[in-house]
Amino acid sequence: MLVDPSDEHAALYFSRMFRAQAAIQSVLLEPLARIGLLGWALRAMNSDLEEPLRSATAAASSTRSAARAARAENAHVVAGLQHLRDEPFNLGDLPVPVISGRRAGRLERASRDALSRAHCTTAHGLKGGRYIEARRSGHMVPFSEPELVAREVLSLLQ
């Protein structure tokens, strides 16, 4: 199951803008964690979560160690997506729900639409693929629509 994944069919990940944003984020993550602003930003981003889970999630994700881990992970996103473009997985007939968050603010509407189109392409390119819109969610689908994620997990177990 793929839940609002980074997607090799999304051209935005291969753009100069994405690479610039990733480079800036890489430089800023640890200093923001050190001065406490990363936790504040993560609490704001995860507004769909109720307290105390929202604060606990932000606290765990905003340490200097978590910032270093995120930076290391982000360093491999484009190369990993390129690898998936070059050598796609053959999943045969396996069922693969692809859940795509659809909610976006005004400034992120174009990128959200592009990512959802990529998710749709991925789902339709798999024999067992199925595209599912998470209309109340942006990227954090498990936070904003946990029932949707749980329902899809359960469907895979039947």
Helix axes of 53-61 and 64-74: crossing angle, nearest 10 degrees: 70
pLDDT at 107: 87
Residue 100's DSSP bridge partners are: 133
| Six-digit token string for 144 | 């904003």
pLDDT at 112: 97
pLDDT (tens place) for every residue of the chain, 158 residues total: 999 999 999 999 999 999 999 999 999 999 999 999 999 999 988 887 889 999 999 999 999 999 999 999 999 999 999 999 999 989 999 999 999 999 998 889 999 999 999 999 999 999 999 999 999 999 999 989 999 999 999 999 98
pLDDT at 66: 97
The structural domains of the chain, with segments of one domain joined by +, span 2-157
pLDDT at 51: 92
pLDDT at 49: 82
pLDDT at 46: 83
pTM: 0.89
> 15 Cβ partners below 8 Å, 6+ apart?
none
